[in-house]
Amino acid sequence: MRAVVQRVSSASVTVAGEVVGSIEGPGLLVLLGVTHSDGPAQVAWTARKVWETRLFPDERSASEIGAPVLVVSQFTLYGDARKGRRPTWAAAAPGPVSEPLYEAVCEELARLGAHVERGVFAADMQVALVNDGPVTLVLDT
C-alpha cells in the first residue's frame, strides 16, 4: 500500500461538477494506492501511520489535533514509467481487490477517531488542495 499524505489548509474532490468530499484544515489529504499483496495488515498500518504521524506544528499528529482526513483512491501511485513513454499499471491491484481495501482504510481511520471524507472510487475526479507548509510524505507498507 502506498499513501501520499499532504498537510493541507483545505482540500476537495469534485466528480461530474459536484463536490463529493471536502475538508477545511488543518487536515490531511491522502492519495491511496493499493498493490496486489496488500491486505488487512497494510490497512491497519497505513491508517495508524496517517492518523498518528506528527506532521503538524509543535510535532502534533492529526489524532492530537482532531484534523479531518480526505482519502482519495489513486491507482496511478503504482505506475511504472521506467521503460518507454507509456507507464504500466501492472503493480496496481485491480478494482475488485483495491476498492475493499481503500474502504477499509477509510473505515479504520474513522474507527481511530478521524472525521473522514472520501473521493469516489474509480471515478474521474478533480482534486483541489492547498498544501500547507508544504508538507508531503510518502508512506509505503
> Residue 123: what pLDDT?
96
76 in catalytic set? yes
Whichever domain contains 29, its CATH number is 3.50.80.10
| Domain extent for 103 | 2-140
Out of 14, 56, 76, 136, the active site residue is 76
Catalytic residue among 6, 14, 42, 75: 75
Given 42, 46, 74, 88, the catalytic residue: 74
HSE value, Cβ hemisphere, 13 Å, CA-based, for 52 = 8
> How many domains are contained in the chain?
1
Q: Is 56 a catalytic residue?
A: no
74 is catalytic: yes
pLDDT digits (tens, 9 = 90+) for 10-63: 999 999 999 999 999 899 999 999 999 999 999 999 999 999 999 999 999 999
- Cα–Cα distance, 70 to 20 (Å, whole number): 11
74-128 pLDDT, tens digit per residue, is 999 999 999 999 999 999 999 999 999 999 999 999 999 999 999 999 999 999 9
Full-model pTM: 0.96
What is the per-residue pLDDT across 109-123, written as a single tens digit (0 to 9) for each? 999 999 999 999 999
